[in-house]
């Protein structure tokens, strides 16, 4: 079984990893080991051995080697001699801030309960086990339950903490992280995924150093700027070799991922809700449950780490109704029309799209209130009669009549000053009393911590789902929170706002997805501003970035792939010159990048030339023929656009049986007399014979992986130059043959 307990020592085992901790002599929990699987033993004297350090106060004089500052702890507090950043902090009514959680008991259960009110992992199958270790503070009537669920086959452990006030006085929870991990050395590099709007999740890899390195958000959303996914890899670890830890948080709001390297070169990793702008009043009897952190480990490189974590999300986080379901090829009118459309325009786009093989039409922003630009109407989720006099249901009927699915855009969490909703309920807007409100994209945030708001939105959205038989909803969120404050909360609970806001968002998502299980949700926050596991639990795909330029997308999708499988990434072909960069790339390259995600088109197809339409038709047919491979195949990063001058990038998808693969190699600029080039494929069966489409030669898998495929330099004939070779993409379609 994945969890064994011996003499107050807990050993969580996955197929390839071990996670060990124990009850220390003071009753608190000590971390022992996390890494490659080791044999289960009654005790590990070597792992519990400690060094006595001069000048560091011991916990008690008769225990000279028990020096909290040097101990590897499982979930540490502050104030009893461990001066590293703590996993939690509680303030008692007298203002004191010391807690000492002592071991009480443990419980092992098969499977896993979902968390109440929070997105969380779930178990399917018999192999999953959950360990709950309960601790109790020696003074306050406060219990702490640390929960660990072991998913053996994906080498994943999910952790969270639950605080319960069993006493009669209200306590304040100032910090409640989801996971702490104390590693015995700091010889790691930190891989983070950072950027900005339209430039999300660029890989940044840097060595750990003494002190704290952290990534996080205080924007009320996980953010474009940083992502909760984080990796610690040995300096020699690359895509295909070496040890690495993967971390993520199933949460969409303010978060903190921190690594603190101390004086002894040990590393403490903390993951959870950002303690800044957080506080929670624990009234008698009340429980606070943290979000879940996801931990994983491998010794075989970053591709493996991404694949096993991605596999875990697909099987244990994403709505099973959609996890393995083919995602439709869609057309979205946003970049094609922006706010300027009417029913005739939309149906013309839909009709042409249908002819090209596209499967779903998505009506984006501008269909409600009196919205002609981004200054009005958010909150008024009723049709804009001037643009669509026959209503949304009528348009939906027409689209459905073309045998297309129909999807609709919402931005539920926002409100415009110029809206009937604001006029009726100005108190529903997030604002701080007596302070000016800071606009963002001319709009304001609605108070998702207010239950009345959730009911209003549920009513509006569900009515449209039912009336128009929506197949899909794009849930946008185009600004971050300022002047965070809710009039529904008393003054001494205002620090709860950011988390309560997220709980409101999750409640609305939960109600809608439960009532309408067949509606596919795509989450969006100005593109990739909330590309996180909290969202993925409800919306199985996300609009990866507002940047649809193929060259920019190469880095964005490559970086995103470290933390998330490609089936979570919405990827569209848009018109050129590109609206974000002005770049003109061939339509083949735009498609060759977008294939490696959930393909869509985002242009006015009625304006496309016959040649462009023919190209799109061919692309859609090609994608559909290989859809399972593109959306669900194992994703391998081959050549990183984050190395060297970033001119080349390549990746590959492989079927579960290793018999089908598609690799793509992208080159930004074409240089004369460039370096000699080979593409080394991955994930094939070494003894299997393969052919590459368009090439008669039969290769063994070992040749394709070890000797690689020659990639000739793009050059024109001597006849004169007919086209640019910049922004090129080459696709290799590889299939097993029985010759």
* Least gap, CB of 529 to ligand DGJ (angstroms): 8
Asked if residue 192 lies in contact with residue 204, where contact means CB atoms within 8 angstroms, the answer is yes
The residue within the footprint of ligand DGJ, chosen from 13, 450, 478, 585 (CB under 6 A), is 478
Please report the beta strands in 393-499, taking only residues with DSSP state E, as ranges in sequence order: 405-410, 414-415, 444-445, 472-475
Active-site position among 155, 380, 546, 639: 546
| Residue 149, beta-bridge partner list | 130, 158
Helix (H) or strand (E) holding 188: none
**Which residue, 21 or 197, has its beta carbon nearer to ligand DGJ?**
197
E strands in 155-266: 156-165, 171-183, 189-196, 199-207, 211-216, 230-233, 244-249, 255-261
> What is the phi/psi pair of residue 113, to 5°?
-85, 145
Question: With respect to ligand DGJ, which residue has the nearer C-beta, 102 or 370?
Answer: 370
- CB atoms inside a 10 Å sphere around CB 453: 25
Looking at the Cβ atoms of 292 and 476, the one nearer to ligand DGJ is 476
The verdict on 137 binding ligand DGJ (CB under 6 A) reads: no
Nearest distance from residue 527's CB to ligand DGJ, in Å? 4
Residues in contact with ligand DGJ, shown as a per-residue x/- string from 36 to 65 under the rule CB under 6 A: ------------------------------
Annotated active-site residue 476? The verdict is yes
The residue annotated as part of the active site, out of 85, 262, 364, 476, is 476
Stretch that binds ligand DGJ, among 225-233, 242-250, 521-529, 699-707 (CB under 6 A): 521-529
Q: How far is CA 394 from the centre of its chain?
A: 36
Cross-strand bridge partners of residue 172: 91, 281
d(CA 125, CA 272): 28
Residue ranges in 527-586 that form contacts with ligand DGJ under rule CB under 6 A: 527, 543, 546
Q: Could you say whether residue 526 binds ligand DGJ (CB under 6 A)?
A: yes
Q: Are 677 and 713 in contact (CB under 8 A)?
A: yes
| Euclidean distance between CA atoms 411 and 101, whole angstroms | 43
Treating both helix axes as pointing N-terminal to C-terminal, what angle do 451-468 and 497-515 enclose, rounded to 10 degrees? 30
> How is residue 85 written in tokens?
């950043």
Residue with tokens 């348009």: 395
Report the residue from 524, 542, 556, 668 that binds ligand DGJ according to the rule CB under 6 A: 524
Residue 197 interacting with ligand DGJ (CB under 6 A) = no
Q: Which stretch binds ligand DGJ (CB under 6 A): 51-59, 243-251, 522-530, 590-598?
A: 522-530
Out of 163, 312, 334, 623, the only residue in the binding site for ligand DGJ (CB under 6 A) is 334
Q: Is 156 in the site for ligand DGJ (CB under 6 A)?
A: no
Distance between alpha carbon 616 and the CA centroid of its chain, in Å?
30
Q: What residues from 1 to 40 belong to the interface with ligand DGJ (CB under 6 A)? A: none
Q: Closer to ligand DGJ at the Cβ: 472 or 543?
A: 543
Binding residues for ligand DGJ, total number by CB under 6 A: 11
- Residue 364 near ligand DGJ by CB under 6 A: yes
CA of residue 508 relative to chain centroid, distance: 19
Bridging pattern class, strands 360-363 and 405-410: parallel
- In the complex with ligand DGJ, which residue's Cβ is closer, 137 or 200? 200
Residue with smaller CB distance to ligand DGJ, 258 or 574:
574
Using CB under 6 A as the binding rule, whether residue 465 contacts ligand DGJ is answered as no
Burial class, 343, CB count within 10 angstroms (exposed 0-12 / middle 13-18 / buried 19+): middle
Residue matched to tokens 């998808």: 653
In angstroms, give the least distance from the CB of 395 to ligand DGJ. 17
Give the nearer residue to ligand DGJ in terms of CB position, either 260 or 411: 411
How far apart are CB 544 and ligand DGJ at their closest, in Å? 10
Q: Which position among 365, 380, 471, 552 is part of the footprint of ligand DGJ (CB under 6 A)?
A: 365
- By beta-carbon proximity to ligand DGJ, the closer residue of 28 and 546 is 546
Tokens of 191: 């891989």
598 included as an active-site residue: no
- The conformation of residue 144, written as its DSSP 8-state character, comes to E
- Rounded to a whole number of angstroms, the minimum distance from the CB of residue 540 to ligand DGJ is 17
| For ligand DGJ, the closer CB: 75 or 197 | 197
Nearer to ligand DGJ, 85 or 476 (CB): 476
> Which residue's CB comes closest to ligand DGJ?
365
Residue listed under structure tokens 């491998």: 298
375-414 mask for ligand DGJ (x: CB under 6 A)?
----------------------------------x-----
Q: Which stretch binds ligand DGJ (CB under 6 A): 198-206, 303-311, 524-532, 562-570?
A: 524-532
CB of 409 to ligand DGJ, least distance (A): 6
Indicate whether 476 belongs to the interface with ligand DGJ (CB under 6 A): yes
Exposed/middle/buried for residue 393 (C-beta within 10 Å: 0-12, 13-18, 19+)? middle
Best CA proximity match to 676, nearest among 643, 713, 649, 637: 713
- Bridge partner residues of 709 (DSSP): 679
- Which among 500, 564, 497, 481 has a CA at the least distance from the CA of 528? 564
Tally Cβ neighbours within 10 Å of residue 209: 11
Catalytic residue annotation: 476, 546
Residues that bind ligand DGJ (CB under 6 A): 334, 364-365, 409, 476, 478, 524, 526-527, 543, 546
């Amino acid at each position: 079984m994945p969890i064994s307990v011996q003499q107050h020592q807990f050993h969580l085992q996955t197929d390839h990893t071990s996670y060990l901790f124990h009850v220390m002599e003071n009753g608190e929990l000590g971390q022992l080991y996390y890494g490659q699987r080791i044999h289960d033993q009654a005790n590990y004297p070597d792992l519990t051995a400690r060094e006595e350090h001069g000048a560091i106060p011991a916990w008690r004089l008769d225990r000279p080697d028990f020096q909290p500052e040097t101990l590897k702890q499982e979930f540490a507090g502050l104030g009893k001699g461990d001066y590293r950043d703590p996993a939690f902090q509680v303030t008692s009514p007298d203002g004191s801030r010391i807690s000492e959680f002592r071991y009480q008991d443990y419980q092992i259960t098969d499977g896993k309960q979902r968390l109440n009110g929070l997105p969380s992992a779930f178990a399917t199958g018999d192999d999953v086990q959950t360990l709950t270790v309960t601790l109790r503070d020696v003074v306050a009537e406060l219990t702490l339950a640390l929960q660990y669920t072991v998913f053996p086959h994906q080498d994943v452990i999910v952790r969270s903490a639950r605080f319960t006030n069993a006493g009669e006085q209200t306590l304040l929870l100032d910090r409640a992280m989801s996971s702490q991990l104390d590693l015995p050395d700091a010889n790691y590099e930190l891989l983070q995924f950072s950027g900005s709007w339209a430039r999300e999740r660029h890989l940044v890899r840097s060595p750990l150093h003494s002190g704290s390195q952290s990534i996080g958000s205080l924007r009320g959303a996980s953010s474009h700027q940083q992502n909760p996914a984080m990796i610690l890899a040995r300096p020699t670890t690359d895509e295909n070799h070496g040890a690495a830890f993967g971390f993520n948080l199933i949460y969409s709001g303010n978060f903190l991922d921190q690594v603190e390297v101390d004086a002894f070169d040990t590393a403490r990793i903390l993951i959870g809700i950002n303690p800044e702008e957080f506080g929670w009043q624990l009234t008698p009897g009340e429980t606070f449950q943290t979000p879940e952190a996801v931990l994983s480990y491998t010794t075989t490189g970053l591709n493996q780490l991404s694949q096993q974590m991605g596999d875990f999300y697909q099987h244990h986080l994403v709505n099973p109704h959609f996890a393995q379901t083919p995602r439709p090829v869609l057309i979205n009118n946003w970049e094609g029309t922006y706010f300027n459309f009417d029913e005739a325009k939309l149906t013309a786009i839909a009709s042409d799209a249908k002819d090209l093989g596209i499967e779903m039409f998505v009506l984006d922003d501008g269909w409600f209130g009196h919205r002609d630009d981004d200054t009005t109407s958010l909150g008024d989720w009723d049709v804009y009669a001037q643009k669509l006099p026959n209503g949304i249901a009528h348009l939906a009927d027409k689209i459905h009549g073309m045998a297309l699915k129909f999807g609709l855009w919402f931005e539920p969490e926002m409100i415009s000053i110029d809206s009937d909703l604001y006029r009726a309920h100005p108190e529903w807007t997030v604002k701080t009393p007596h302070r000016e409100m800071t606009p963002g994209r001319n709009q304001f945030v609605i108070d998702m911590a207010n239950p009345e708001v959730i009911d209003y939105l549920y009513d509006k959205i569900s009515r449209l789902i039912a009336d128009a038989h929506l197949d899909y909803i794009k849930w946008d969120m185009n600004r971050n929170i300022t002047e965070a404050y809710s009039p529904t909360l008393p003054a001494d609970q205002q620090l709860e706002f950011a988390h309560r806001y997220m709980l409101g968002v999750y409640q609305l998502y939960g109600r809608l997805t439960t009532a309408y299980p067949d509606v596919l949700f795509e989450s969006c926050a100005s593109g990739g501003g909330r590309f996180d596991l909290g969202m993925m639990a409800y919306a199985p795909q996300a609009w990866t970035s507002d940047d649809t330029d193929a060259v920019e997308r190469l880095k964005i999708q490559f970086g995103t792939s470290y933390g998330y499988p490609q089936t979570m990434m919405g990827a569209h072909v848009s018109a050129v010159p590109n609206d974000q960069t002005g770049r003109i790339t061939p339509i083949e390259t735009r498609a060759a990048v977008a294939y490696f995600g959930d393909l869509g088109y985002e242009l006015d197809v009625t304006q496309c030339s016959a040649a462009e339409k023919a190209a799109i038709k061919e692309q859609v047919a090609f994608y559909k023929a290989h859809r399972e491979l593109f959306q669900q195949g194992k994703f391998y990063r081959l050549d990183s656009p984050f190395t060297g001058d970033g001119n080349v990038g390549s990746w590959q998808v492989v079927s579960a049986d290793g018999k089908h693969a598609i690799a793509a190699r992208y080159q930004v600029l074409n240089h004369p007399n460039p370096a000699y080039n080979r593409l080394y494929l991955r994930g094939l069966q070494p003894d299997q014979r393969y052919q590459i489409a368009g090439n008669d030669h039969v290769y063994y898998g070992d040749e394709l992986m070890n000797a690689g495929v020659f990639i000739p330099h793009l050059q024109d004939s001597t006849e004169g130059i007919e086209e640019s070779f910049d922004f090129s993409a080459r696709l290799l379609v590889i299939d097993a043959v029985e010759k």
